[in-house]
């Protein structure tokens, strides 16, 4: 029986601005809850990244808040002030390192915010996955929105000064940029909302500010990507039709890649398209010839990742698979793909170098990762 040829996963990849990756595997951004209360990177967090960053061609960090009003998680590190540049520099090592920049908006836990008040496009509470609603956010003023756009630019400058190879704008998973684009969370009637075109204004202004900061401050090629979620469950909410418009708009804005946030790479669309093919295939068609697309979603085995790559995505991202198997890429490169672990070993925390809080969350959140019996 012939062994499967996994070499396409190990092929190099070059973005149009000249940044080259040694292979087609990206470490997906994953919150690890391990930063220190002042927003600096902890030793535990640094060790977690070092354990995983040797194999992948590109590593996208967990998201950093660009503004204190946008801190979305306990143990999240920050990029909202210059004093944090030395901390950021510690993570800008090894593989091509991308800093994911974000504002949590209405998804932020109030207790983490300076004034304990969540903010968003409008005063619409988030629908919680567990049922019920989150806290009602305060609508941002025009001046505050302009300030947050500037904060994304400043975080980009700090990423450049810290030695990162790029930034990824986090416009997915229900956070602030998505809240402005969504007809569920944005009910404004000013320049930031109302029509679909106006709901795009804030996300595109952030992209423009980030690319402006790169042109001003970067001395070498520096990547700018954008991550998005293609659909929302709420009605009204973002549909595939909305996302096609978003992809078209982003494709004309000087970005280097798009990163689709999916739990399952092959997930099917719910609404906004008559096409029954997986979302990722339709999105690749929309971005074809404009921007490379990074696909992600439960690609635990080398066969999973190879099949995903053969669908036409430029790069495949691994999140949970690299929690379970930090040596995923190395095993493929060494011809040991059949030795890749696909279930979390409850006795292997030290070997896997997973921070304590994240470890507890993994073991106690049903369905997050497969767990070895």
Which residue numbers are catalytic?
175
Question: Per-residue b/e over 311-322, b at no fewer than 16 CB within 10 Å?
Answer: eebbbbbbbbbb
- In the chain, what's the furthest Cα-to-Cα distance? 65
Alpha carbons 75 and 3: distance in angstroms, whole number: 43
Reading the block at residue 353, the tokens are: 């170098």
* CA 344 and chain centroid, separation: 22
Q: Which helix (H) or strand (E) holds 307?
A: helix 302-310
Q: CB within 8 A of 254, min separation 6: which ones?
A: 207, 211, 224
User: Nearest to residue 177, comparing CAs of 117, 120, 225?
Assistant: 120
Spatial contact of 101 and 168, defined as CB atoms under 8 Å apart: yes
Alpha carbons 229 and 290: distance in angstroms, whole number: 19
Q: Which helix (H) or strand (E) holds 64?
A: strand 58-65
Alpha carbons 156 and 301: distance in angstroms, whole number: 34
For every residue of 129-166, DSSP letters joined together read TTSSB-PPPEEPPHHHHHHHHHHHHHHHHHHHHHT-SE
Reading the block at residue 92, the tokens are: 């800008």
Alpha carbons 151 and 174: distance in angstroms, whole number: 19
Alpha carbons 182 and 107: distance in angstroms, whole number: 14
């Amino acid at each position: 029986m012939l062994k499967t040829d996994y070499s396409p996963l190990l092929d190099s990849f070059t973005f149009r601005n000249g940044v080259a990756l040694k292979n087609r595997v990206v470490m997906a951004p994953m919150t690890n809850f391990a930063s220190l209360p002042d927003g600096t990177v902890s030793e535990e967090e640094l060790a977690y990244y070092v354990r995983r960053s040797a194999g992948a061609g590109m590593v996208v960090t967990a998201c950093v808040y660009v503004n204190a009003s946008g801190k979305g998680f306990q143990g999240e590190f920050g990029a909202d002030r210059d004093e944090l540049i030395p901390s950021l520099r510690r993570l800008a090592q090894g593989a091509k390192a991308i800093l994911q920049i974000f504002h949590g908006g209405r998804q932020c836990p109030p207790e983490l915010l300076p004034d304990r008040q969540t903010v968003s496009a409008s005063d619409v509470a988030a629908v919680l996955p567990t049922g019920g609603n989150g806290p009602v956010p305060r609508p941002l003023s025009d001046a505050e929105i302009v300030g947050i756009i500037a904060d994304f630019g400043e975080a980009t400058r700090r990423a450049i000064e810290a030695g990162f190879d790029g930034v990824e704008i986090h416009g997915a998973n229900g956070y602030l940029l998505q809240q402005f684009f969504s007809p569920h969370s944005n009910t404004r009637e000013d320049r930031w909302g109302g029509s679909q075109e106006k709901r795009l204004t804030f996300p595109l202004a952030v992209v423009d500010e980030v690319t402006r900061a790169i042109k001003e401050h970067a001395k070498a090629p520096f990547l700018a990507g954008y991550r998005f979620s293609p659909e929302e469950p709420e009605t009204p909410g973002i549909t595939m039709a909305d996302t096609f418009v978003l992809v078209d708009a982003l494709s004309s804005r000087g970005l280097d890649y798009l990163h689709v946030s999916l739990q399952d790479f092959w997930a099917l669309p719910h609404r906004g398209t008559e096409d029954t093919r997986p979302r990722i295939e339709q999105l690749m068609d929309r971005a074809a010839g404009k921007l490379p697309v990074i696909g992600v979603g439960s690609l635990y085995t080398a066969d999973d990742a190879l099949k995903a790559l053969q669908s036409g995505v430029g790069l495949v991202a691994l999140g949970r698979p690299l929690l379970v198997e930090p040596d995923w890429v190395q095993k493929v490169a060494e011809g040991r793909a059949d030795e890749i672990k696909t279930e979390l070993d409850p006795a292997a925390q030290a070997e896997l170098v997973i921070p304590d809080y994240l470890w507890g969350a993994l073991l106690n959140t049903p369905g997050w990762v497969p767990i070895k019996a």
